[in-house]
């Protein structure tokens, strides 16, 4: 009997880590088989038990209707024949891989691991982590032998927060395992919830590397566009107009400049850089791209101050509203959001700063910035607006609405439109001093 049949006949699947990745995955499996969702965060679990999805990925209705068992009791994992680990793998303050959570989760799983179980990791890691680090922790904690008593697998998460088109079920799923039998089992188990292709990678390391490179590639392309935008500011050329013209060619890549945050693109390249360096190769392009993209928040902040000076504003105690704190549009995810860096940079100039985001969950704002958060309705008598995210609510502002946010006699009205939501000619004709990347 294969693993899929065991699960369909009553064996349990467990998902360890119920965040943006783990929750949708656990909910999907719970529609097919008996599933346990394990997390050490009781506050988060209580939200789910009360039918609230703070991530917004699955939605409250899906959480309210699920048969998924939410638990913080690690002993519940002893029931599981298939365990998926989907915990965060961030970076440290010095941009090194932080495997604290994945190591801790491996230890917890190992202490409750039963013979015959497959443990599949979805957390983003550098090549070799599953085999060289996670499997030995499982062995040490369980007293079992990997390959003989249990198997390990790796399947990189590809969920795109806030994306209502590319969802778990219709994104190609990469799977890998320590041997052919386990690989087939893992592919069949994921095939229960994935409508798209399930791609079988030949090794754990190939699957681990694929996740890193698909995001490092985007990071490099965005870094190039950010460098282009900064160069064009020196040339007094409108980057948005250049991109419109460039995109008329069939093989244009359609990347645009912007702030790079989130849980993947701003983190995964560092895992690649680290392991490449450890293996003896310096990844010049990936490292340079990180430097460019990490510098963009400071560039936006200093550009804001420069435009305020051009408008003959007294910077000290000018009223500045920063609109958009999540790392991307129309989602509540603030992980690695560069808007926080912009805010801290502006505060160094002693402006009177307010932070606005209708998608924001205030408890995700860093402690040093919480007191600056205000609702959209509080925007008034502004000297400057800085819009960093393409939330639909911001896109829908009319010229009259934008104008009413400013002081009555303000001219020109300084508008920093990082993503180019609005059209420059219309804004300048309406009396705005308009800047965008």
Backbone φ, ψ for residue 69 (5° rounding): -90, 120
Q: Rounded to two decimals, what is the model's pTM?
A: 0.93
User: Is residue 382's pLDDT more than 90?
Assistant: yes
Q: What is the CATH number of domain 3-202?
A: 3.40.50.720
**How does residue 350 score in pLDDT terms, banded at 50, 70 and 90?**
very high
383: left (phi over 0), alpha (psi -120 to 50) or beta: alpha
User: Is residue 414's pLDDT more than 80?
Assistant: yes
User: Is residue 1's pLDDT more than 90?
Assistant: no
Going edge to edge, which strands form the sheet with 413-417?
A: 352-356, 319-323, 384-387, 413-417, 432-435
Round the average pLDDT of the chain to a whole number and report it. Answer: 94
Structure confidence by residue, pLDDT tens digits, 162-198: 667 677 888 999 999 999 999 999 999 999 999 999 9
Q: What is the CATH number of domain 212-293?
A: 1.10.1040.10
Question: 3-202 and 295-435: same fold?
Answer: yes
- Under 8 Å between Cβ of 124 and 89: yes
Residue 134 a catalytic site member = no
Active-site residue (options: 47, 120, 134, 264): 264
**pLDDT > 70: percent of the chain:** 99
User: Is residue 374's pLDDT more than 80?
Assistant: yes
Q: Where are the domains of the chain?
A: 3-202, 212-293, 295-435
Q: What is the 3-state secondary structure (H, E, C) of 403-424?
A: HHCECCCCCCEEEEECCCCCCH
* CATH H-level, domain 295-435: superfamily: NAD(P)-binding Rossmann-like Domain (3.40.50.720)
Span 303-316, average pLDDT: 95
- Under 8 Å between Cβ of 376 and 358: yes
């Amino acid at each position: 009997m294969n693993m899929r049949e065991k699960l369909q006949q009553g064996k349990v699947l467990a998902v360890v880590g119920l965040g943006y990745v783990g929750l949708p995955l656990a909910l999907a499996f719970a529609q097919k088989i008996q599933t346990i969702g394990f997390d050490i965060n009781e506050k988060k679990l209580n939200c789910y038990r009360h039918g609230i999805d703070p991530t917004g990925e699955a939605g409250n209705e899906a959480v309210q209707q699920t048969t998924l068992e939410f638990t913080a009791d690690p002993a519940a994992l002893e029931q599981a024949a298939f365990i998926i680990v989907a915990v965060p793998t961030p970076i440290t303050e010095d941009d090194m891989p932080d495997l604290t959570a994945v190591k801790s989760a491996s230890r917890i799983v190992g202490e409750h691991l039963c013979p015959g179980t497959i443990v599949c990791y979805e957390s983003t890691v550098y090549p070799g982590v599953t085999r060289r680090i996670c499997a030995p922790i499982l062995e040490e904690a369980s007293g079992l032998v990997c390959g003989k008593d249990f198997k390990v697998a790796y399947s990189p998460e590809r969920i795109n927060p806030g994306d209502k088109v590319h969802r778990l079920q219709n994104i190609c799923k990469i799977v890998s395992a320590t041997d052919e039998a386990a690989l087939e089992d893992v592919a069949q188990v994921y095939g229960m919830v994935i409508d798209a292709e399930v791609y079988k990678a030949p090794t754990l390391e190939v699957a681990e590397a694929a996740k890193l490179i698909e995001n490092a590639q985007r990071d490099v392309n965005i870094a190039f566009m950010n460098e282009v935008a900064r160069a064009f500011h020196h040339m007094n050329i409108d980057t948005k107009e250049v991109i419109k013209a460039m995109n008329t060619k069939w093989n244009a890549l359609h990347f645009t400049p912007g702030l790079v945050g989130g849980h993947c693109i701003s983190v995964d390249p560092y895992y690649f850089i680290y392991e490449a360096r450890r293996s003896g190769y310096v990844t010049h392009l990936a490292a340079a791209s990180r430097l460019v993209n990490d510098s963009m928040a400071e560039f936006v902040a200093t550009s804001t101050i420069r435009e305020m000076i051009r408008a003959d504003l007294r910077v000290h105690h000018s009223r500045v509203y920063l609109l958009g704190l999540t790392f991307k549009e129309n989602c509540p995810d603030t992980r690695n959001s560069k808007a926080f860096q912009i805010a801290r940079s502006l505060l160094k100039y002693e402006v009177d700063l307010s932070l606005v985001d209708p998608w924001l969950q205030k408890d995700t704002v860093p402690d040093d910035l919480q007191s600056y958060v205000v609702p959209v309705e509080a925007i008034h008598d502004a000297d400057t607006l800085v819009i960093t995210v393409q939330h639909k609510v911001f896109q829908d502002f009319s010229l009259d609405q934008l104008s009413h946010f400013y002081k009555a006699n303000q001219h020109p009205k300084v508008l920093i439109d990082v993503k180019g939501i609005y059209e420059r000619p219309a804004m300048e004709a309406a009396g705005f001093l308009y800047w965008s990347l």
